[in-house]
Amino acid sequence: MFKLLSPNIGKVSLLIAILSWLALLFVDITRIFGMLNQIESGVAPEVSYILQVAFFIMVYLFFNYSITRNERNEFLNLIWRGASTGLLALAISLLIRGFYGLLGDSTLANDPLMRNFFYHVNFALISLFLISCTLLWKRLILYQKSKKVVQQWQAFEILLLVSMFFVFFNQNTLDYSFIFGLVFITVFSISLSINLKWIPYLTFKEKWKSILFFSIILVSASYLFIQVLSYSDVEQIPVNLTDNLLLIGLFIFVFIYSLFSFLVTLFNLPTSSVFEQKLIEAINFQRLSQSIKPGENENQVLDILIDSSMSASYADAGWLEILDDEDNLSVLQFRFIEKNTLKELKDILVQSTAYPQDATQKREDDSKSVQIKINHNTYKSALVTALYINQKLMGRLVLVKEVKDGFNKEMVNIISTFVGQACISVENYRLLNEAIKNERYKEELEIAQRVQESLLPDKLHHDESFEISAFSAAADEVGGDYYETKQLDEHRFALIIGDVSGKGTSAAFNMSQMKGVFHSLVQTHPKPKDFIVLANNALGQCLEKNHFITTSYYVLDTVNKTIAYSRAGHCPTLFYKHHTQEADYLSIDGMGLGILRNHLYENYVHEKTFHFDTGDVLVLITDGIVEAKDNRGEEFGYERLRKVVQQHAGLNSQQIQDIIIKEVYKFIGKNTIADDDYSLMVVKFK
């Protein structure tokens, strides 16, 4: 039931207000009829008072509803509503007076019924004006409200409510209690009227308008008040509705608040441009601090920077120099200045001692702005502010004015802040871009890593006469070490280990070429020397001039128990003889692939064959193992490796491998070899 009513509260309150007003009119007319015909109408004045209270409450509800509902509650709009209502009440009141003036002393002029009707019209309009203004002022007072102000306002509303019923006690006579009530309301009104926080937010133009509106309200209120006072003595009015404490109290409140607002707005006029300027600065600052969105570029920030700096300092002209790739300052933006004038000014500035001469040098002092006097026909002072990004000069903002010493401390401060903020924005933008780029590189590197991992075999070929295990680790994301096996026929196996010069991605590329060469050549079952020579021919065609690959190539024959091998500049292989319980490096001459790229190369390649037996161990390594350094810079070395293998040759291949890695790590004192790739392959004969 209640829910049905709530959306129509405005209409319902309006309707009841009109009805109560009509009832008031009717009751009074009844009274006048009674008076005229000397009949006691028997209507007590309390009936009128009750109707009046009902009327007030309904009007209050109606305006409360309509003002709250109105979306466009800008200050000026609110004040205009008050002013227009006042104007309407004033105009109708004047019309009625004019009408009576025209009638003169005719009988119609003295007709009590008509006079009574117009009295009610005036009463209604005054009530509308005062109540609507009160509610409008409420919004102004409660702008940027604090708890204290809200409580104060609520107390004021209760006071008004009480004063509405006051009429039942004193029958609208001017006694001490009435005056006491008025004083109370006046004090309250004054204390509420100091809440004028909305005024600074008006622009200069809006302030002028609001001054106009307030004067309308003040004039209307004054006139209507005098009008109300004049009714007090009129005898044709049976029940005086206007000498009500509430109405008089509202008069006082509306008048005082309007007067305060009027005066404060008036005195605020001269400083309003300062406040507006500060507001613009705050907005500019916010624009500068918003990071540049993707797709935009730094120039937008610099654009805002020069515009906001110029408006903050009232500069007559200005420009922005930005350091280009060759460390030269070039003018990126300029405002209100001709190019040749700009050049003249620049020449003058450069000659000034205060001007920071070295473009790339960072000045020691904190303040990054310098004010310089200039001797130019038009311009007399300049403010030079350096833009720094990451402690590095990025550019310079120059503002010039036609007056001497045109830049005061506040301007310098605000411009320094603007410049600082713009630099942060640009820096953030650059960092973001870099981060995106790095992210992309990282992804590509991860792809390279995956590809490279697939280049190393997951399966090592062998038969039951030997076991084999291998290990590889890269210093960077991708490495240049390579090993692989291939079963040539039933009892012959090819083994290769290699190391590509350099590190990282370029090494990884060359390694993949090596793998291609291996898989091509191995199909022809070449002898080790032939393999090396052919590989040199092939790789000589595609390796960069300063790149080479070292490799060792082995062919194991498990029936004849022989190993044939060649070495191309690769670090020597360790061979443990079970028979003698000794390990030694296989010595054979050889030259790295790609070092000599012509037919002479084969002169430097050799091939050897030797026998192996059960219990023998072959350890193939890359130089990362022997060159691993401890914290004193000492290398792990060939000798240490030899001893480790000799000591643990009785274990199986996997165990030997694990022990070698463990010993290397123990030697260097950590779990990685930071600056080289390292690999090893262990073959144990059964």
Q: Give me the residues that bind another protein (CB under 8 A), please.
A: 499, 501-503, 545-548, 550, 568-572, 589-592, 594-596, 604, 635, 675
Q: At CA 35, angle to CA 30 and CA 38, rounded to 5?
A: 120
- The least CB distance from residue 473 to another protein, in Å, is 17
Instruction: Please report how close the Cβ of residue 515 comes to another protein at its closest, in angstroms.
Output: 18
- Nearest residue (CB) to another protein, 112 versus 592: 592
Q: Which CB sits closer to another protein, 439 or 589?
A: 589
Output the smallest distance, CB 561 to another protein, in A. Answer: 28
Q: Which is nearer to another protein, 335 or 503 (CB)?
A: 503
Cβ–Cβ under 8 Å, residues 196 and 261: yes
- Spatial CA neighbour of 75 closest among 214, 251, 276, 220: 214
Nearest to another protein of 46, 589 (CB atom):
589
Closest to 622 measured CA to CA, from 517, 542, 514:
514
- Smallest separation, CB 670 to another protein (Å): 19
Class of residue 187 by CB neighbours under 10 A (exposed 0-12, middle 13-18, buried 19+): exposed
Cβ proximity to another protein, 380 vs 503, nearer residue: 503
CB of 571: closest distance to another protein in angstroms?
6
* In the complex, minimum distance from the CB of residue 566 to another protein, in angstroms, rounded to a whole number: 12
Q: Which H or E run includes 552?
A: strand 549-557
Q: Which of 357, 404, 362, 361 is nearest to 383 (CA)?
A: 404
- Confirm if 458 and 485 have CB atoms less than 8 A apart: no
Q: Please, which residue, 25 or 626, has the CB nearer to another protein? A: 626
Please state the closest distance from residue 555 (CB atom) to another protein, in A. 21
The CB density around residue 430, as the number of other CB atoms within 10 Å, is: 15
Nearest distance in Å: CB 606, another protein: 10
CB atoms within 10 A of CB 167: 26
Nearer to another protein, 198 or 554 (CB): 554
Which one, 499 or 616, has the nearer CB to another protein? 499
User: What's the closest the beta carbon of residue 545 comes to another protein, in angstroms?
Assistant: 4
Least Cα distance to 619 among 570, 559, 561, 669 occurs for: 570
The answer to whether 549 and 594 are in contact (CB under 8 A) is yes
| 309 vs 510 by CB, closer to another protein | 510
User: What type of residue sits at position 255?
Assistant: F
Smaller CB separation from another protein, 6 or 546: 546
CA angle 108, 111, 114 (to 5 degrees): 95
Instruction: Quote the least distance from Cβ 431 to another protein, whole Å.
Output: 26
| Under 8 Å between Cβ of 254 and 221 | yes
Structure token digits, residue 7:
């959306």
CB of 603 to another protein, least distance (A): 9
Q: Dihedral (C-alpha) 396, 397, 403, 409: value to the nearest 10 degrees?
A: -100
- The minimum distance between CB 604 and another protein, in angstroms, equals 6
3-state class percentages of the chain: helix first, strand second, coil last, to nearest 5: 55, 15, 30
For residue 622, the minimal CB distance to another protein (Å) is: 11
Based on CB atoms, which residue is closest to another protein, 242 or 622? 622
Q: Cβ 569 to another protein, closest distance in Å? A: 4
- Nearer to another protein (CB atom), residue 133 or residue 591: 591
The token pair that represents 401 in the structure block: 């004015």
Min dist CB 514 to another protein, Å, is 14
Residue owning tokens 């500060």: 278
Distance CA(419)–CA(424), nearest Å, equals 9
Residue 384 CA, chain-centre distance (Å), reads 28
At 600, the amino acid letter reads: L
Give the Cα separation of 496 and 126 in Å (integer).
Answer: 108
Query: What residue type is 586 in one-letter code?
Result: L
CA distance 455 to 477: 14
Instruction: Report the helix count and the strand count for the chain, using DSSP H and E.
Output: 19, 15
Q: What is the DSSP letter of 546?
A: T
Alpha helices in 573-652 (DSSP H): 623-626, 637-648
Q: Which is nearer to another protein, 242 or 550 (CB)?
A: 550
Comparing CB distances to another protein, the nearer of 248 and 474 is 474
Which of 439, 434, 382 is CA-nearest to residue 411? Answer: 382
H/E segment holding residue 399: strand 392-401
At 678, give phi and psi (nearest 5°). Answer: -145, 140
Of the candidates 620, 638, 628, 626, the one whose C-alpha atom is nearest the C-alpha of residue 680 is 620
Nearer to another protein, 251 or 509 (CB): 509
**593: DSSP letter:** B
For residue 69, what are its two tokens?
Answer: 């509902």
CB of 504 to another protein, least distance (A): 8
Name the CA radius of gyration of the chain, rounded.
50
Which is closer to another protein, CB of 38 or CB of 546?
546
